[in-house]
Amino acid sequence: MASSKKGTFQSVEVDDEVVNKWAPQLVKLSWAVIAIGVVVGYAVWLLVDGTTGEDVGALIWVLSFSGSVALMSIRQTLLAESV
């Protein structure tokens, strides 16, 4: 029978000044990712012919919103470490 190894997580100390520097920047970066993704997705939607343009435009929107969620998750993790 194979032995199972349980993963251990290592806690990392994050300085308060690092959190105070990066938390607001990640919010701004998240909004920038959304704005750029919406504009680029809409441009692709209009400029590429047929359903391919619609599909790629929608994919760009999904990727930009996913990137924004990832950035906000990193922010929340930083803020949780500073408490």
**Which range among 19-23, 66-70, 79-83 shows the weakest confidence by mean pLDDT?**
79-83
Query: In whole angstroms, what is the distance from residue 45 CA to residue 54 CA?
Result: 5
Q: What ranges do the domains of the chain cover?
A: 34-82
pLDDT of residue 72: 96
pLDDT of residue 34: 97
pLDDT 10s digits, 3-53: 566 767 677 777 888 888 999 999 999 999 999 999 999 999 999 989 999
pLDDT of residue 82: 61
> pLDDT at residue 1 above 60?
no
